[in-house]
Amino acid sequence: MLVLKRLIAFIVTSVAVLGSGAALAASGHPEPWQLGMQQGATPVMDDIIWFHNLLVWAITAIVLFVLVLLIIVVVKFNARSNPTPSRTTHNTTIEVIWTVVPVLILVTIAVPSFRLLFFQLNAPKADVTVKATGKQWFWSYSYPDSKFEFDSLMVQEKDLKPGQPRLLAVDNEMVVPVNKVVHVLTTGADVIHAFAVPAFGIKIDAIPGRINETWFKAEREGIYYGQCSELCGKDHAFMPIMVRVVSDKDYTAWIDQAKKKYATDDSHPTAVAAVDGAH
């Protein structure tokens, strides 16, 4: 009886933990016990999640089908229950079926796969452009339309304020307006880094000497976190990405204030500017 009670308690707790994990997945960063992906905040990520689920169902159906076939073979056609095996080597009908059905399955997968690929790669016209430069080991964000640039460093564990997630919070975050197309240009100042924000469905290499481009349109205000996703050296794990998505009004206010705070003095180029000018 006690065992049964404990088992029921365990199941109830597990379901509660998993349920709350799903609810917390909208927080813009991973949660303990979370299953599945973070909730999408952009149309691209919504499509990625949809496509992922389609593939999971397809894989599950195929695996179960093959498993059933294997069980039938093991049970019905072993030496004891089937002492005189059939001598059949060809069956045209079944050969056509096992060629055509996989082709149809692959085509069914390929159509949404290519649609998603084009959706990700065909960036709509930009409302805002931000250049993210990966450096050992932090990010610099530059807003070319407003002519300022700033560095974004991880908040050390001892300096974390309540509510700031460990290894993800930064001192100066990238700020973008909600429901606007943001182009992210990435490059590396020293080695290859990668700019990735899971809730936006973006991940793109930041390579020294060249500019890569991706885009997102965040549909919900909030804070979204990502990390450098290319092994870039000793502190690779400590150069997080933090994006704050705000209303148009708050964005304009932030731009005004940021222009003053991060004003670049053209007569005294910083080390950062010197690196940019070197290509």
Residues in the site for Cu ion, rule: CB under 5 A? 193, 228, 232
Q: Is the bond preceding residue 137 a cis peptide, omega within 30 degrees?
A: yes
Nearest to Cu ion of 194, 246 (CB atom)? 194
Closest approach of Cβ 153 to Cu ion, in Å?
A: 13
Closest approach of Cβ 28 to Cu ion, in Å?
A: 20
Sequence-ordered alpha helix ranges (H) in 77-144? 92-121
Torsion from C-alpha of 183, 46, 199, 44, nearest 10 degrees: -20
Residue 129, strand partner residues: 183
Q: Is 21 helix (H, G, I), strand (E, B) or coil?
A: helix
Nearest to Cu ion of 29, 193 (CB atom)? 193
Provide the terminal-to-terminal Cα distance of the chain, rounded to the nearest Å.
Answer: 73
Structure tokens at 16: 């509660």
Nearest to Cu ion of 189, 245 (CB atom)? 189
Closest approach of Cβ 228 to Cu ion, in Å?
A: 3
Nearest to Cu ion of 136, 146 (CB atom)? 136
Closest approach of Cβ 138 to Cu ion, in Å?
A: 9
Nearest to Cu ion of 41, 228 (CB atom)? 228
Say if residues 210 and 187 touch (Cβ distance below 8 Å): yes
Closest approach of Cβ 237 to Cu ion, in Å?
A: 9
Nearest to Cu ion of 190, 219 (CB atom)? 190
Closest approach of Cβ 216 to Cu ion, in Å?
A: 20
- Characterise 86 by phi-psi region: left (phi > 0), alpha (psi -120 to 50), beta (else): beta
Q: Residues 176, 243, 217, CA angle at the centre, nearest 5°? A: 50
